[in-house]
Amino acid sequence: MMILYAGTSCLFSHRCRIVLYEKGMDFEIKHIDAFERQEEVASLNPYGKLPILVERDLTLYESNIINEYIDERFPHPQLMPADPAMRARARLMLHNLENDLFSQVRELENPDNKYPDKTRALVRDSLAQIAPLFTRNRYMMGDEYTMLDVAIAPLLWRLGHYGIQLPRQAAPILKYAEMLFARPAFAEALTPVEKSMRK
């Protein structure tokens, strides 16, 4: 059985929980505090971060790597495109999201961040830039729900929690977000802590 070590409020753990519930398979989620159980986390991930996936003698960390493994191991419903060129494009888009957007999210969660308002503005502006995509696409890559949608959904859920208000021209992304939140797997993947982030 797969065991996911996850944080109750961790955005990156949330991604992995969504994929597990989308697949509807047997798994166990162990919610742990990475700070209180540093030694245990460090024994599984040398970087000391969650999420961590353990299956028999395999241990994985980094949410995108975990999610691709789950997707390949349990291919229905498929969350990465079947076509190699489209799959490469999806990976590139995920890479860009990590560099341009989620690096800022990590800064937002960093208690030593000296410029939180600047970080919020960078996240807001990055999201506003991709908003026009949703005037022509249902999901990030077109009409199909993919790993890109999984990756961004937890951030969209946390916008109010992070104190980020999107500009009026970003309305399409808010409509898209509500569609993601309505998916049963998204609702199942929420922890009580995450539910309280959005009133």
> What was the pLDDT predicted at 109?
86
Q: What is the DSSP letter of 52?
A: E
CB 155 within 8 A of CB 9: no
pLDDT tens-digit map of 22-34: 999 899 999 998 7
> What was the pLDDT predicted at 66?
98
How far, in Å, are 105, 129, 166 from residue 124 at the CA level?
Answer: 11, 9, 6
Query: Is 147 exposed, middle or buried (CB count within 10 Å of its CB: 0-12, 13-18, 19+)?
Result: buried
> Is the model's pLDDT at 108 over the cut of 90?
no
116 residue type, one letter: P
pLDDT tens-digit map of 57-99: 999 999 999 999 999 999 999 999 999 999 999 999 999 999 9
**Strand order from edge to edge, sheet including 2-6:** 27-31, 2-6, 52-55, 58-61
94 residue type, one letter: L
CB 90 within 8 A of CB 148: yes
For the chain, which domains are there? 2-78+188-195 (3.40.30.10), 84-183 (1.20.1050.10)
pLDDT tens-digit map of 142-179: 999 999 999 999 999 999 999 999 999 999 999 999 99
